[in-house]
Chain A
């Protein structure tokens, strides 16, 4: 399953990804980083294109549905 994965050490918690995600799969967890709900994410990559810090990327993950 291709899902968005966030590097929480790079993430600046700006919320651009969260705003752009068509599935509303992202929340900014306590102002610290973007948290992806992998159950909702469809791996479209819109968040990756929007992220100014290059911290969220779509890649193959084990945990799928």
Chain B
């Protein structure tokens, strides 16, 4: 169907066009005379490394940021959007990379805030449920947003945007926290929209999906326009080369190494859903040994957040023996005590959970390192040591930003992700629990993060990775378990399972157990 759309309109008119947009943040030029035309009936990809300026461009195209120079054309006429409300009213819908939802409100209340009309909430809730059916993006209208995981919030944002009935739909990395099935549903929706003559701008670091879905691609590098290409004739590696300006190394498949003693033992872990935050966990059992990476797949909102918080110590378990870190019963310990056992944690939500948005990056280093004894002595922060660590994270993990030490909020999504991963890895943990390790990082950086984690495993670290990205889990974990409705299946070695078996288990069928059975049969 996408072929017909592209073929029928050889020279479709531009709905929304950016002409020579420039945006500076202090000395940093985030967008340098960037032009881009989103055409009716087309899906246009915007590609570039972390910090290339993609989100900045999007923000200017909807009025969240004002360009320093250049102009916007809407239906070929110059236009100025003073704010996103105006552009939304004119039919430009945006799903931002960092969500703009109010935690204290329910899904339907959040959606109502974004719409201008005065529709009764019950009617709106009905429409949201319709969306669930029509677009295959499950959203429960009366849940409080604060309880939702990142993947669920992403679905809410997309549904909210679609309900506004936009002519131009801009999606800033929508698929990085969706499962393959959800992404598939989203692609179908996007195809439907373009078939109706609407226009879509699509940002993603997953080049395979870009090549499948998009009719045109604009590549940015260092804030500059590099090329406009046809992604269907490019290969993933030629696109990556355009983005990076150099050859991108593949993640090396790891060499096998001996597994050591169990670093993490979860035994009959149960958590009661406390209503306001997180769901319940039922009889979770898992063992991770030094040197291995275990992945947890599953649709967001099936208890992954609760599991993460139970492991990090934010939600202590009632039975101390239910979580054992390096032979120490840790179920009743708080986060700092668990870190003292050389455990490290990276939550999925970067802004507000992994990092304090309005504090400087160097101060955010302290967030997880304050118990390590080196940076804080006798309760006093040693700023020279802290700054040295900060510089090391930035250097080793190639965190790029404008200025010397900006607030965490000012970093591009992928760069902040590299920062929070680097912060944990440099603590030299023996157990690492990572939720969504490569959310929003570009292909090169994602490869780097995976390689680093593999390397850590080879050095004897036990790693638990929670991810909605099944391909990622298949690529670099040793065993995969599936989380569904608070239950965890027994992990299966990657070589002995398949996308299909895992997909079935994610849906909650007995397929997961069948997969386990298969493993035993081997």
Tell whether A and B belong to one assembly: no
Chain B interfacial positions (CB closer than 8 Å to A): none
Chain A interfacial positions (CB closer than 8 Å to B): none
